[in-house]
Amino acid sequence: MPLAVYVLGLSVFALGTSEFMLSGLLQPVARDMGVSIPTAGLLISAFAIGMVVGAPVLAAATLRLPRRTTLMVLLAVFGLGQIAGAVAPSYGVLFASRVVSALACAGFWAVGAAVAVSLVPVNARAKAMAVMVGGLSIANIAGVPAGAFLGQHAGWRAAFWAVAGLSVLGLVGVVALVPRTEAPTGDDQPRLRAELRIYRDRQVWLALAATALSGGAVFCLFSYLGPLLTDVAGLDEGWVPTVLALFGVGALLGTLIGGRIADAHLFGTMFWGIVASTVVLSALALTAHSAVAAVTLALMLGFTAFFTAPALNARMFNLAGAAPTLAGATNTSAFNIGNTVGPWLGGLVIDAGWGYPAVAWTGAALAGTGAATTVAAMRVHRAEGASRVIATSASPASPASSASPASPASPAGMEAAHDLATDPSRTTR
């Protein structure tokens, strides 16, 4: 695996720490800002909304810019957003800083994912994405619990200052180790209208739906994991960082194992991972009053949630290989649509007075729907074969578009070869 891919994963560590650390800071933030827990939880949705909007918009806006330069600018903006959050005098300013940080984070994810998959062969895409997703996993192991610890002992603002420092380290790594690229010109220049053709394919929409439902299921519960542990399971607030770290350990293990097997068993990894999340969330809803069960299931939820992530990302890049930047951006948006809707639904459940265990049931319902969507996607894939759209989504003068739809040199040909290798029983049209 190229060293630059690991540098991107390291940068994602900083981004992921900011994205998820509020799960362990909701209570101090709510007390300091004078708002309710569900209102503080909207800060998580604010970040996700920024990711939803920012990923495709910034991917389109920077499509013809040098990717390395784009990554550097986005990391700098992200760091400034963290500083704004650290000094925010009101809830509104903090909310706005989360949106700005998320826009930069979304752009980095979209461009960084395209860079990562461009540095490896097609049959190693899931492994490359596992490295980037691994940055999120490590953020959950180290960054999120550390943020919660800082919030409890030095104030929640200290956590924002710490992430600003991490973004500086990520920027140094990108400058030093990510290959320099020039802006594409002539026939190699990406064309937005051509890349937008990927949205004509229903396989793309099914893949995005599975991604959104999977993310929503997990973060519906994860966003309120801290209050569930203290108010329902009866743990002291000091235990929250430890349990968040256990979730991160499960996430890292899930990412490593899922990334290793996803290239060979793409749909199986997606389906069984989402089904496992459904089971874990249901079990947590039934046993939330047991501290031992809640802690154990938090670790298992981290594993099942991130076990599917490399496969969900690789599936999208396989479908939209001729539009890698928009593929990464769109999948990022899908994840964060789930990350927006999940906490929002969880907040509605809490406000309705149904309690934190009902939040776990809501997540289980989302995950079950995601599993059903994955089955539908697999059936459409087997019926239609490789995507017809990606064969024509590159520019007319590019090699990808001039190759025949099923030729090995074209993205569709790579998809077909990949599919036959992973599922010998199916044939292409």
Percent of the chain at pLDDT > 90 equals 14
Give residue 64's pLDDT. 72
Looking at mean pLDDT, say which of 155-169, 196-210, 253-267 comes out highest: 155-169
Any idea which of 272-286, 348-362, 376-390, 395-409 has the lowest mean pLDDT? Answer: 395-409
How many Å apart are CA 241 and CA 237, to the nearest integer? 8
Give residue 231's pLDDT. 87
Model pLDDT for residues 182-236, shown as the tens digit of each residue: 655 555 555 666 666 777 778 888 888 998 999 899 888 887 888 888 888 888 8
**Does residue 427 lie within any of the structural domains?**
no
**Does residue 429 lie within any of the structural domains?**
no
Q: What DSSP string runs through 112-181?
A: HHHHHHHTS-GGGHHHHHHHHHHHHHHIIIIIHHHHHHHHHHT-HHHHHHHHHHHHHHHHHHHHHHSPP-
Q: At what angle do helices 67-86 and 156-177 cross, to 10 degrees?
A: 170
Stronger pLDDT, 71 or 237, i.e. the higher one: 71
Give residue 421's pLDDT. 33
How many Å apart are CA 139 and CA 145, to the nearest integer? 9
- State the residue for tokens 């044939």: 427
| Residue 395 in this model has a pLDDT that exceeds 80 | no
Percent of the chain at pLDDT > 70 equals 81
**Does residue 372 lie within any of the structural domains?**
yes
pTM of the model: 0.64
Token pair listed for 224: 């309120």
How many Å apart are CA 364 and CA 352, to the nearest integer? 18
Number of domains present in the structure of the chain? 1
Query: Residue 31 maps to which CATH number?
Result: 1.20.1250.20
Give the structural domain span for 166.
Answer: 3-422
**Does residue 428 lie within any of the structural domains?**
no
Looking at mean pLDDT, say which of 60-74, 193-207, 219-233, 393-407 comes out highest: 219-233
Q: Mean pLDDT across the chain, nearest whole number?
A: 77
| Residue 276 in this model has a pLDDT that exceeds 90 | yes
Give residue 320's pLDDT. 64
Q: With bands split at pLDDT 50, 70 and 90, how would you rate the model's confidence at 385?
A: low
| Residue 148 in this model has a pLDDT that exceeds 50 | yes
| Residue 240 in this model has a pLDDT that exceeds 50 | yes
**Span 73-97, average pLDDT:** 91
**Does residue 349 lie within any of the structural domains?**
yes
**Span 121-128, average pLDDT:** 71
